[in-house]
Structure 1
Amino acid sequence: MLSVLLAVAALLVLRLIADLVLSALNRAEVRRHAGAPPPAVAAIMDGPTYTKSVAYTLEKSRFGVLTEVFDTLVLALVIFGGVLPALFSLVASWGGPESLWTRTLFVLLAGVLLSLPALPFEWWEQFRLEQKFGFNKSTTGLWVTDKLKGVLLMFAIGFPLLWVLLWLVERVGPTWWIWGFGVLFGFQLLMLILYPKVILPLFNKLTPLPEGELRTRLMALGDRTGFSAKTIEVIDGSKRSGHSNAYFTGFGRFRRIVLFDTLIAQLTPEELEAVLAHEIGHYRRGHIPKMIALSAAMMFGGFAVIAWLARSPWFNVSFGFPAGEMAPSLLLFALLSGVVTFWFAPLGNLLSRKYEYEADAFARNAMGGPAAMVGALRKLAQKNLSNLTPHRWFSGFYYSHPTLVEREAALAKPV
């Protein structure tokens, strides 16, 4: 059993070392270009904006190192300090020996308690770091309310879902994980439809893009690119942050495009059209079902691993839990799987970047040239103080999108 703990400790340390090294490489690369940005970067940002983006990137990186070290120490304390087995014994004692509700409650309570130590860091990032660079638009009251709503939602949704999974373990037997995958994957597909209608309105206000020239222009784009959208919605992201974005959600007749109100304020109608064309490009190139299929395959594999670990006589016992208890196995997998999946992040990012290039190319073709898309990307980089000179290793591990310089180069290539 000691060998299991040593292996987990080694994985935690290796993950932390990798994080710290990658962050240090990235800061060094940013500093190297701080005084004299490359010509391609100088064409994107003016001097004062670039200087501010460098300062923002460096401060975020230093703060990220602090939070990463702290989070790793907390996780190590929880995993190796006997905290979780003690919590399990306490909560399990509230019900009978085979009580499902206490085991479900244990997983959720552990999740809540593990999130508490990070709250001061989250508050500092929002109300000090983001505030310093002009991005924070939230209030302490709104921040606290968001956290409370998040906990209530976790119990409202997580409790019945976890209960069903544990019930399947009791009723179905060794093949529970196949049925469990089906339940969770089906729930995820359902949430693609319900999230923007049921969950998102609890935090943000979604309104249809009002009638006018912009809406007419964007709807016409949808018609000529084969994306018949019933509505384009605007989200009030400005109530929390000055950052801007646009995203695609849902599938089939439930698909929708959501634009941040900050994005509409920052871009011209032509640039907004290019951003929308990019999002439509994801749909037309089949990226959404491909990503859903990949997610399903990874989830299926994850359930198979959980089932194998739960059956293993050494897994639960190594961490102080009774052998065969599924609830601790689920929690331990959730806490520790990241130390393994981290090393595969570059592969996922490669695929994501491929899709971004394809969506950019679709937008370029839909707009009759790259100018509008380039203009939109440059403004977004300026407004969000994006890091335009990341280290290539850091970018490989953490960037799901190509850098702006890379995207502009791809857009400039002949069709």
Structure 2
Amino acid sequence: MESTNLWVWVAGAVLAGRLGAEWALEALNRRHLRQVAGCAEAGGSEGSGRARALAYAEARSRFREIELLWETALLAGLWLTGWLARGWEAWQQVVGTGVWADAGFVWAVFTGASVASWPLRWYERFHLEERFGFNTTRPRTWWADRAKGLLLGTVLGLPVLVGLLGLMRWDPAGWWMWGWAFVVAVQWAVSWLAPVIILPWFHRFSPLPEGPLRERLLTLARRIGFRLADIQVMDGSRRTRHSNAFFTGWGRFRRVILYDTLLAQLASEELEAVVAHEMGHDRLRHWQKMMVGSALGLLAAFAVAAYAAQVPSLFRAFGFPGPEPAILLVGLGLWAGPVSAWLAPLIHACSRRWEFAADAFAARVLGTAEPLCRALERLHRENLMNLPSHPWYRWVHESHPSLEERLAALTRAGRGPAPAGDRSSA
């Protein structure tokens, strides 16, 4: 078998293997969820809540299958049919060559792939999420978000692409080390500036009003040594009824962000527990570890790209005359998802471990796990996430432990009350 044909078969196997494995997991998880919901109803639990959570989980699972099929078809269409190679040839004939022209092609491919997913995103927001009462986004807001995203991708992404292509021309052998350092620096800069430049462009933020809750959270931050610029409320309800809390930024830009939907759902003690959990991630240096892990993963990706640049048969297999820096970047971006999917279990295992640690941190600094237990139960119920996934599915896909696992971990540590019956549906 010729090497060019071998690369096509490898690409097809990666795509088909991922699609088949993901679909099998989705089917396995749906069967498991039906069994869990059926057992809960037979045991006298609140069947209506479980039934609605099951319907939501199944709808999300079916949507995920369609999403995977669409992503697979898009990649197969671009690479295995020669469309990308013909597009590259036409682009050079019309636009020309050079760093900026090549960067424009890469940007156009990434933008086209993003726009191609818009029908799925629209269906997800205005049909799936609408069906279960979560959507509050107006079509005008949705389209404005898409336009802002495109503009932001152009302003930030195009210069990065130009910089990478320039480095590839400047140092063909060692570009990948320089390029890695450059991209990591950009990522860190963006994460530093996001709270004051990027996020306010999409959402409205206001300081948490003066009062007992604000003082309670500020006192918590001082007690555990969490450097905090402000506590702000985000208008999450303009887009969804889902709730969340997170912190973002570095140094004097660091902020704790609370969804306004979260404030409406939880009592003060429960909000304090959720914020303590988020602060625990920082005090235990989970965010720093995540950034280092991301940087190492990116380094490995750039090293693989550097190797691929030395394999002419890889490019010829997909219709290109030889190694092309722009095509290398396109491949790096488009194939990152299917390839990294096989590493997801390792990444999510670390994330779940950190969630357990942050839960324990919150219970320790508050002296009790009871508010955190109540908050977790309420959030899982409100977000229709109170059905535990199949262990294999959770191992591959989920960055958080199940509600039962989190409550059991706190109970075993003697920091919280034992769940009374089926707490996940309380």
TM-score range, shorter chain: over 0.9
User: 1:142 aligns to what?
Assistant: 141
Q: Is the 8 A contact 1:41 1:405 kept in 2?
A: no
User: Is 2:33 the partner of 1:30?
Assistant: yes
Alpha-carbon displacement from aligned partner over 1:188-207 (angstroms, at most 9, x marks no partner)? 11011111211111110122
1:145 positional shift: 1.2
Alpha-carbon displacement from aligned partner over 1:118-153 (angstroms, at most 9, x marks no partner)? 222211111111011100000111111111111111
User: 2:54 aligns to what?
Assistant: 54
Alpha-carbon displacement from aligned partner over 1:302-326 (angstroms, at most 9, x marks no partner)? 1111111112112222111232211
Alpha-carbon displacement from aligned partner over 1:246-289 (angstroms, at most 9, x marks no partner)? 11222344332111111111100000000010011111111111
Question: What code does the residue aligned with 1:64 have?
Answer: R
- Structure 1 distance, partners of 2:44, 2:74, is 39
Q: Is the 8 A contact 1:278 1:360 kept in 2?
A: yes
Query: How does 1:261-340 map onto structure 2 within 5 Å?
Result: 261-340=260-339
Structure 1: 5+ residue runs without aligned partners?
none
* Alignment CA distance shift 1:138-1:168 (3 Å): same
Question: What code does the residue aligned with 1:383 have?
Answer: E
1:34 positional shift: 2.0
Question: What code does the residue aligned with 2:87 have?
Answer: L
Deviates more, 1:377-386 or 1:310-319: 310-319
Query: How does 1:202-281 map onto structure 2 within 5 Å?
Result: 202-281=201-280
Is the partner of 1:93 in helix, strand or coil? helix
Is the partner of 1:314 in helix, strand or coil? helix
- Structure 2 distance, partners of 1:294, 1:60, is 29
Question: What code does the residue aligned with 2:75 have?
Answer: L
1:39 positional shift: 11
- Structure 1 distance, partners of 2:114, 2:288, is 32
User: 2:412 aligns to what?
Assistant: 413
- Structure 2 distance, partners of 1:253, 1:153, is 24
* Alignment CA distance shift 1:29-1:189 (3 Å): same
User: 2:5 aligns to what?
Assistant: 2
Superposition CA RMSD, Å: 1.7
Is the partner of 1:35 in helix, strand or coil? helix
Q: Is the 8 A contact 2:195 2:253 kept in 1?
A: no
User: 1:361 aligns to what?
Assistant: 360
User: 1:79 aligns to what?
Assistant: 79
- Structure 1 distance, partners of 2:44, 2:233, is 31
Alpha-carbon displacement from aligned partner over 1:83-108 (angstroms, at most 9, x marks no partner)? 111221222224444x1111101111
Question: What code does the residue aligned with 1:281 have?
Answer: G
User: 1:395 aligns to what?
Assistant: 394
Query: How does 1:85-124 map onto structure 2 within 5 Å?
Result: 85-97=85-97, 99-124=98-123
State which of 9, 12, 25 in structure 1 corresponds to 2:15: 12
User: 1:178 aligns to what?
Assistant: 177
- Structure 2 distance, partners of 1:383, 1:398, is 21
Is the partner of 2:39 in helix, strand or coil? coil
Alpha-carbon displacement from aligned partner over 1:142-182 (angstroms, at most 9, x marks no partner)? 11111111111111111111001100111123111111111
Q: Is the 8 A contact 2:249 2:255 kept in 1?
A: yes
Aligned length: 411
Q: Is the 8 A contact 1:29 1:391 kept in 2?
A: yes
- Structure 2 distance, partners of 1:339, 1:57, is 23
Structure 2: 5+ residue runs without aligned partners?
415-426
Is the partner of 1:52 in helix, strand or coil? helix
Q: Is the 8 A contact 2:195 2:255 kept in 1?
A: no
- Structure 2 distance, partners of 1:41, 1:298, is 47
Deviates more, 1:313-322 or 1:389-398: 313-322
- Structure 2 distance, partners of 1:403, 1:162, is 40
- What percent identity do the matched residue pairs reach? 40
Alpha-carbon displacement from aligned partner over 1:371-405 (angstroms, at most 9, x marks no partner)? 00001101100110005221111111110010110
* Alignment CA distance shift 1:323-1:40 (3 Å): farther
Alpha-carbon displacement from aligned partner over 1:14-59 (angstroms, at most 9, x marks no partner)? 10001100000000001112222299995xxx43222211111111
Question: What code does the residue aligned with 2:176 have?
Answer: W
* Alignment CA distance shift 1:174-1:40 (3 Å): farther
Is the partner of 2:120 in helix, strand or coil? helix
- Structure 2 distance, partners of 1:38, 1:175, is 61
Deviates more, 1:67-76 or 1:205-214: 67-76
Question: What code does the residue aligned with 1:289 have?
Answer: Q
* Alignment CA distance shift 1:47-1:40 (3 Å): closer
Question: What code does the residue aligned with 1:33 have?
Answer: V
- Structure 1 distance, partners of 2:33, 2:412, is 27
- Structure 2 distance, partners of 1:197, 1:169, is 33
